[in-house]
Structure 1
Amino acid sequence: MADASLDLECTDVTEGNYSEERAQKVATSRDAVVNGINVSNPQTPEFDAVTVFTDTSLAHDLLLVLHEHRKLEQLTDVTLNSGDLNISCHRSVLAASSTFFRAMFLDDLRESHEKVIHLHDVKPDMLEKIIDYLYLGCIEIRLSFAGDLLATACFLQYPKLVAECESFLKLHLNPSNCLGIHELADLYNRQHLMEDSWDYILANFMNVSLSKDFLSIKKEKLIHLISDKRLRVNREEIVLNACLKWVDFEPCRTKDFISVLKCVKLAFVDTAILNDVLMSSVLFINVEECRDLIKDSLNLQEMMVKEKQIRQPRSSMLQDVTVVVGGMTSDRKWQKEVIFYHEECWYFLTKLPFDHTDYTVTSIKEDMYIIGGFCEDHVCNYVWRYSFANNKWKQICGLQNARCNHASVSLNGKIYVVAGEDDANSLTNIELYDPGFESWSVIGDINPINSNLSLAAMQNKLYIVGPLTFTRVCSLQVFDLETLECTVILTSGMTRSMFPVVTLQHNLFLLGNCKMKEVMILDPDTMQMVASEPMRYKRNCPTATIVNGKIVVTGGELQQHVNKVESFDPLLNKWVGETPMPTGLCFHGCVAGLKYIGPPFSWIKLSTQL
């Protein structure tokens, strides 16, 4: 700027245009360059306006220019070599983008002085993609090379690109690539990808076992896989067949196969399949240890069938079934039969070991509980637990307060028993049972209520429906399990009592609250009710539960006790009739239970009245 002013001054003199006024302008221009231009308000000299200009595209534009320089090999000062590929780069760009290159060029390593850097452990095509990514700020990731790209990004230390490759691979896990991705994640210590790919393998074992990669899996990894409690298969022969295919792929694996076979739950493989394997497989004919293990499993099956003990199958082989417990028949007699429903048929379980009545039934996963009731001439505090695993009943710690005509429900692995009556009075307290401590404790009270109550639970709250004693109006009470406070909610439309209430999809379903077939959905947040699809059958006092995400309603009374069963699928918004119970029941228990139904057991189907 100063040179321009001087040039202007000389030109003006040469052309004869120089004047005092022009000289003053030239002098002012020179001062402005040297001392800075003063544009502040002369009236307020202390004021200095400020702005900050940010060119958001400058960094990107610079990279694009540097990219062009790199392509033309202009101003580059280092060459990266991989195989037959040589890429000219700028050391400063490499060092700024990666701790790998920063250490290489700034820590006085040998490479810091070399013009050519040889990267022997990097694939040429992956190196080229990553260098383009540095200069352009974008990269295309395809499933065909995402694994190689992740490996290269890990080696060259580009964490953002590594994270993007991990997310991409997680999104595109499939039975053919999940084993390879898990091995890659393990190699480069990518913990999240390792966990996600392992979970996928466990959840899709049958399809994964059909892939080529499965045949190459190491013995230790196979043992770890089939020993994982989270492995999801619905039949144990899937695991056995996969292991047999694996050992047949390489005959040298035969000598160590016994360690794999011990991890297969052979007692839950169909007896006919075990006998066929024992008689026809060369492996089991020639290897005594494997042959003996099959024989021992066949003997164990006989003992399991004889004792009706299921032992411990894989959790994925347990099925959610509807269980109906006891109840009263049309001739006013209480029965002791326990039955379950599976694939349109009813089957026997072990009978109730007692004669008392007016109990309640609830379940927690693989256990079912019978609570309280009326025994001979008095109300009792008895509690019985049924194990679906060994098909047996056991009496456990009793209630603090004997009671009948109460309600019970399970929530978050604990049981809550509400209200009812003892030999002399109505009860209002709530008892809690924690299976971990095997003890009962009173945690609070509800408002006085008649014995005809229904109970449901969700989101750490108990929902009690029934006629309040002092108004005789059917009302909703909400007991907060955190604050231990009970609130009466004023609702309309509940003109009946002794109708079941269940929770599904974060809502309360009231089944027959005004009319016998009517279904209302109550939003617990707004306490607003809307009508849902009505039930197919009319009946009083049915029981209901949730099985496999569906509402199942059983039995009830309409002049006589009915055996009708129906289910509601919320996805289809439709009620469907199911196979009727063997006999009409009322006041029975109806719960969901996790039960193993596969080999070696055969269950007696019920097609006639009990």
Structure 2
Amino acid sequence: MVLGQSDSDSSMVVKSSLHLNNAWNSFNECRHQGNFCDVVIRIQDARFPVHRLVLCACSDYFRSLFLGQWKSTDKQEIEIPGVSPRVMSSLLNFAYTGQVTVTSVNVEELLPAADQFLISYVKDKCCAFLKRHLTPKNCIGIRQYARSYYCMRLVEASTRYILHHFEEVSQLSEEYLFLPITDVEQIIRDDRLNVHGEESVCEAIFRWVIHDRRVRLKHLTGLLKCVRLGLLEPEYFMIKVKGNELVMECIAECRNLIKEAMKVVCDLHAHAGIESLPTEENLYNLLLRPRLPIEVLLAIGGWSGGSPTNAIEAYDPKAENWLNVSTLSDNNFVGQSRNLSDIPRAYHGVAYVSGFVYVIGGFDGVHYFNTVRKFDVSTFEWTQELSMMHNRCYISVAVLDKKIYALGGMNGESRLNSGECYDPYLKHWALLPDMNERRSDASATSMEGRVYIAGGFNGQECLFTAEFYESDASVWTRITPMRSRRSGVSIISYHGLIYAVGGFDGVNRLRHAEAYNPLSNTWRNISSMGTPRSNFGIEVIDDRLLVVGGYNGQRTSSAVEAYEETTNEWCLIKDMDICRSALSCCIIRGLPHEIIKKYCLPRDISSHCCVDEENFMNHELESSESDRSDGLFADEEMQQIDNNEVPEEIIVVDDQMGSMEDL
């Protein structure tokens, strides 16, 4: 039988991973049986017969040893100090099997041994174990430990943990009190420091100084210079800082700083806005520069100026300001800027999952969408995802267990009671059981393993009913109805309750809001917003509930309000740049600060603004006729506007009418 003219024509390379596993298993059996062992490792009174070749294969330390001073020696036993028999046994087991057990009991000894014997894989796994077991009480100690063995990734992870949990660390950690001045100053100066207010930073400084008052008092002025003193509440500044006994004791050194800070604090509150103060001077910049946030709110799309928009604005909760990020500067991109905008759409849903923003369904003025667009917040790139099974405008979207739920809406012909669930990892949509109501212009959220949906419009009336879905039971269950009918409502989970805010009851846009307690299955009223609104964005950021934009009954709005549960009060915050309704919002979080800061106002006056000013969208629409027309379209079904005035396909009709332990 002739198969070919040459070996190359008829050859085939065969590779078996099973063969490799069998070989290593055989080596390990020989080790335990004492067969073919050519050296003995002695640790204290314990002796470990091993094969030089195996140790050379997994450790550069043993490779250098056996190919260096032990290359031609006849000595068969090596004594190694500085490691316990238990840990050496673990490392030898790894050398032969590729497996090692890392525990909170052995990790502090295993990591140095892996470092000593240059077994980088085990060292890296020990670092990963310690990273997973960081707590406010041990994070400083773990960082010092990581520095000792040059585990720079663990050092950085510990630093990020300290910055993110600083309030707890400074209050609960005894290790914090023993930090050197350089570390304390480095931490409290960092823009990434996550605190609810600069008052927490002051208290942490005072606690550290008092621990060794005689030695540390001289550092107080330098530490206070790292605090954004201008952002302190006036009463706290006057009593707790200016009047603090530590400050009074070194007033000669502190006087100029306190004097300037007091002027800034008073000016800030007198003018009620950072922008009112002179910002060119370095001192003001240092005293007023806000920290970087750990999360940012994105407001995407909507209906503005009589048509859909693709604008994206970012709310920086620390600076309490909006940034139009439709175009971002990017030095790594040709042209030095990127256009982040995608297809204009309104009445859509938005979901954030694992570093990606998903924009789902909606309407562009002509087409009802079933499409899904995915935005990578790190690379600023848009890609097309698998489309939904149904077109859905006035869609309700929620995220539960990293899956996206798209519920109800309108397909261009009828309101829907169907829902579908998308797995971003499998890239698969699955139909859900039908809801108990047909709902367009409703709103959805998730809490404690359930997806809740409330309100909306069924084609005949605005709804006050609500229900939830449990994936384990795969069934929709009705709950107590809301106290008011609400179409164009927004609901959100916040501090263990479901909040339903604003909307349209068939007659009026609503200011009032209510909260649902799942334990008692009851709704209760909360304080009302300052202005009525429907079809607006809602999210929770910096422990406050924000409502964004919407339609107030006369025009689209750029107004934003914040609600705090502790005071049961609403307050106005900075308006968006763009007036719009039918927008959708999400929170981006869990990202490196290098990415987050792209969506924030620059912190240094010398920094280049990350927004391309020439591409800013100028939407001063509060009093424009185009915005007033949004309101007319919204009430078409109620006021029976002539179909000749409002094209039948204009969907804005539904706009508001229905429309580790301690180591």
Which of 558, 562, 565 is matched with 2:513 structurally?
565
Instruction: Measure, in 1, the Cα distance between the counterparts of 2:372 and 2:71.
Output: 75
TM superposition shift of 1:562: 6.0
Is 1:147 matched with 2:108? yes
Q: Secondary structure in 2 aligned to 1:239?
A: helix
Using the aligned pairs only, state the percent identity: 18
Contact map agreement 2:362 2:368 (CA 8 A) in 1? yes
Q: Which residue of 1 aligns with 2:597?
A: none
Seen in structure 2, the aligned counterparts of structure 1 residues 89 and 460 have a Cα distance that, compared at 3 Å, is: closer
Q: Which residue of 2 aligns with 1:179?
A: 140
Higher deviation after alignment, 303-312 or 136-145: 136-145
Is 1:553 matched with 2:485? no
Instruction: Measure, in 2, the Cα distance between the counterparts of 1:592 and 1:511.
Output: 16
Instruction: Measure, in 1, the Cα distance between the counterparts of 2:532 and 2:434.
Output: 30
Contact map agreement 1:541 1:557 (CA 8 A) in 2? yes
Higher deviation after alignment, 211-220 or 386-395: 386-395
1:535 maps to a residue whose letter is: P
Q: Which residue of 2 aligns with 1:581?
A: 528
1:194 maps to a residue whose letter is: V
Which of 276, 291, 297 is matched with 1:365 structurally?
297
Q: TM-score, normalised by structure 2?
A: 0.53
Instruction: Measure, in 2, the Cα distance between the counterparts of 1:55 and 1:460.
Output: 43
Instruction: Measure, in 2, the Cα distance between the counterparts of 1:408 and 1:531.
Output: 25
TM superposition shift of 1:187: 2.9
Instruction: Measure, in 2, the Cα distance between the counterparts of 1:382 and 1:64.
Output: 68
Contact map agreement 1:563 1:583 (CA 8 A) in 2? yes
Which of 30, 45, 63 is matched with 2:31 structurally?
63
Structure 2 counterparts to residues 413-428 of structure 1, below 5 A:
418-419=362-363
TM superposition shift of 1:382: 13
| Higher relative contact order structure (alpha carbons within 8 Å, sequence separation ≥ 6) | 2
Q: Which residue of 2 aligns with 1:14?
A: none
Contact map agreement 2:418 2:434 (CA 8 A) in 1? no
Structure 2 counterparts to residues 265-280 of structure 1, below 5 A:
265-275=228-238, 276-280=240-244
Higher deviation after alignment, 243-252 or 149-158: 243-252
Instruction: Measure, in 2, the Cα distance between the counterparts of 1:314 and 1:294.
Output: 20
Q: Which residue of 1 aligns with 2:454?
A: 511
Seen in structure 2, the aligned counterparts of structure 1 residues 156 and 493 have a Cα distance that, compared at 3 Å, is: closer
TM superposition shift of 1:271: 3.2
TM superposition shift of 1:140: 7.9
Instruction: Measure, in 1, the Cα distance between the counterparts of 2:117 and 2:322.
Output: 63
Is 1:189 matched with 2:135? no
Task: Structure 2 unaligned segments of length 5 or more: list them.
Answer: 1-18, 275-287, 327-340, 545-561, 571-663
Seen in structure 2, the aligned counterparts of structure 1 residues 386 and 211 have a Cα distance that, compared at 3 Å, is: closer
- CA RMSD, aligned part only? 6.1
Q: Which residue of 2 aligns with 1:128?
A: 85
TM superposition shift of 1:240: 1.9
TM superposition shift of 1:182: 1.6
TM superposition shift of 1:497: 6.0
Instruction: Measure, in 1, the Cα distance between the counterparts of 2:162 and 2:100.
Output: 29
Instruction: Measure, in 2, the Cα distance between the counterparts of 1:212 and 1:490.
Output: 51
1:286 maps to a residue whose letter is: C
Is 1:221 matched with 2:178? no
Which of 58, 61, 67 is matched with 1:100 structurally?
61
Q: Secondary structure in 2 aligned to 1:130?
A: helix
Q: Which residue of 2 aligns with 1:231?
A: 193
Q: Which residue of 2 aligns with 1:539?
A: 485
Structure 2 counterparts to residues 389-468 of structure 1, below 5 A:
407=347, 418-419=362-363, 453-454=394-395, 456=397
Seen in structure 2, the aligned counterparts of structure 1 residues 493 and 293 have a Cα distance that, compared at 3 Å, is: same
Instruction: Measure, in 2, the Cα distance between the counterparts of 1:367 and 1:190.
Output: 40
Q: Which residue of 2 aligns with 1:502?
A: 444
TM superposition shift of 1:544: 1.0
Task: Structure 1 unaligned segments of length 5 or more: list them.
Answer: 1-50, 319-363
Instruction: Measure, in 2, the Cα distance between the counterparts of 1:290 and 1:168.
Output: 44
Q: Which residue of 2 aligns with 1:281?
A: 245
Contact map agreement 1:233 1:317 (CA 8 A) in 2? no
Seen in structure 2, the aligned counterparts of structure 1 residues 368 and 574 have a Cα distance that, compared at 3 Å, is: farther
Contact map agreement 2:446 2:493 (CA 8 A) in 1? no
Q: Which residue of 1 aligns with 2:584?
A: none
1:105 maps to a residue whose letter is: F
Q: Secondary structure in 2 aligned to 1:581?
A: coil
Higher deviation after alignment, 558-567 or 258-267: 558-567
Contact map agreement 2:177 2:211 (CA 8 A) in 1? yes
Higher deviation after alignment, 203-212 or 553-562: 553-562
Q: Which residue of 2 aligns with 1:297?
A: 261
Q: In the comparison of the two structures, how many residue pairs are matched?
A: 471
Q: Which residue of 1 aligns with 2:205?
A: 243
1:242 maps to a residue whose letter is: A
Seen in structure 2, the aligned counterparts of structure 1 residues 146 and 400 have a Cα distance that, compared at 3 Å, is: closer
Q: Which residue of 1 aligns with 2:657?
A: none
Instruction: Measure, in 2, the Cα distance between the counterparts of 1:291 and 1:602.
Output: 38
Listed one character per residue, the Cα deviations across residues 12-39 of structure 1 (whole Å, up to 9, x for unaligned) are: xxxxxxxxxxxxxxxxxxxxxxxxxxxx
